[in-house]
Amino acid sequence: MSSFESVRLVMIRELRQATRKKGLWAVFALLFVGSTAAMVLPEVVGGDDSSTDEVVVVGDDPALVDALTALGPALDSRVDVTIVETDTEAARLVEDQEVDIAVTSGDSPEIIVRAGENAALVGAARQALYVTTLTDRLGDAGLSDAQITDSLAVPTAQLRELDVSGQSRRGASVVISLVLYVLLLTGMVQVANGTAIEKSNRISEMLLPVVSPGALLFGKVIGVGIVNVVTLSAGLLPVVVKFSIGGDLPDGIGGALAASAAWFALGLALYLTLAGMLGALVERQEEAGQVVSPLTYLLIATYIAIQSSGDGVFGAVLAYFPLTSPIAAPTRIATGDSSPVEIVGSLVILVATVLVAGRFASTVYARAIVRTGKRLKLRDVMASPRTRPA
């Protein structure tokens, strides 16, 4: 049987066992529901912005009605205007929240609104009152309709939008680094635990005559890695669906997610392989958490550092260093702080490190997994007798 087939069988076992754990499905469901809510709720809650503004006008004033109705495009909504006879009725409608505002015309025009609400609509209504009053006065002054129209036709201001996407990109980077951090941490503990169980229960003793240590290690790493990727996909699926049907996504999130995939896969490979190696050093499952704690602390420190000072030179260093780049590089890509050189350099260094770490880890794993009795130190393992080729 080829090594590839051994790795595949070990991986399939990991996947099968993982899918039988209720905890995985709970996390899966939580991520899916949470992500779906995050994508759908803004559409639902924000729906009022493009809906209808209800306005009542006291008395018969067709010019004012026309002016108010014409406000719709400016307010990104449709303005429905109804006419009532008295101020009292208008005030009641506003108070009962049946309409948004009420407007009275005449010599002493008035706008009735619930305190603190509909500021934009109030401003637009003031503008409508100003235009109708001015039109009336110009007519009283003897100007023809054409002259009045010319007088009111002022140049339309050009809209100059400032780039405010940095805020949303920063938000995207927080989300991405948090997700990567959590998944790396979870996967790492899973691999270390699994390896420690196989060693403490002497399962490895039964398997090693049949399967090479490398196949055992990498089959587990790939299996757990796939479980984590699938779990992540539960959170990504609603984002992808919304993006594919033309929904609005926070600026920078799509590209950042795509760029993150490479670092995520390589980061998983690196951290999970190292976790498998460290898990082989312990004698009891309870020690698995302790033995991977240096990697855990490194992940935590990286997450904090990249959030606090990820945009400077220090952030760039973190993006190059292979143990921190799986979190740092995608974060800097999301915030737009990384250069093409940095992206390529970070990726090359990480790939090289994964290859070296894989070889080193499989050697340590092969030597440590058969040595039982007490927790081992790395230097002792490296000085120990050779085992079969990893």
Partner 1 sequence: MVQDVDDHRAANAHRAGSDGLVARGISQRFGERVVLDDVHLTVPPGRVIGLLGPNGAGKTTLMRAIFGVLEPDAGSIEWQGRPATADDRRGWGYMPQERGLYQDMYVHEQIAWVARLHGLSKQRAASRTSDLLEQLGLGDRSGDKVEDLSGGMAQRVQLAAAMVHEPDVLVLDEPFAGLDPVAVDFLFRVIADHVDSGRVLVLSSHQLDLVEDLCETITMINHGRVVLQGDVSTLKSASDARFLRVDVDVDPTWIDGSAAAVETSGPAGSRLRLAPGAQAADVLDDIRSHGPVGDFGVETPTLSELFLDAAGEPAADVEDLATQNVPSRRTDVENPVAESEEVAR
Q: Which of 27, 63, 175, 207 binds partner 1 (CB under 8 A)?
A: 207
Select 160 or 386, whichever has its Cβ closest to partner 1: 386
Least spacing, CB of residue 195 vs partner 1, in Å: 13
Answer for the pair 373, 283: CB distance below 8 angstroms, yes or no. yes
Q: x/- contact string, 17-56, with partner 1 (CB under 8 A)?
A: x--x------------------------------------
| Residue keyed to tokens 């229960």 | 201
Least spacing, CB of residue 23 vs partner 1, in Å: 13
Q: Which of 73, 209, 246, 340 binds partner 1 (CB under 8 A)?
A: 209
Per CB under 8 A, 210 contacts partner 1: yes
Q: Which of 257, 276, 258, 273 is nearest to 350 (CA)?
A: 273
Select 208 or 292, whichever has its Cβ closest to partner 1: 208
Number of residues in the chain: 390
Count of residues interacting with partner 1 (CB under 8 A): 26
Select 307 or 387, whichever has its Cβ closest to partner 1: 387
Select 4 or 115, whichever has its Cβ closest to partner 1: 4
Residues in region 174-203 near partner 1 by CB under 8 A: 198, 201-203
CA distances from 126 to 61, 130, 369, 380 (A): 15, 6, 79, 82
- Identity of residue 302: T
Q: Is 370 helix (H, G, I), strand (E, B) or coil?
A: coil
Per the structure block, which two tokens stand in for 84? 């009532």
Least spacing, CB of residue 307 vs partner 1, in Å: 38
Per CB under 8 A, 377 contacts partner 1: no
Phi, psi for residue 54 in degrees, rounded to 5: -95, 125
DSSP secondary structure of 287-337: GHHHHTHHHHHHHHHHHHHHHHHTTSHHHHHHHHSTTTHHHHHHHHHHHT-
> Interface with partner 1 by CB under 8 A: which residues?
1, 6, 9, 13, 17, 20, 198, 201-212, 370, 372, 384-388
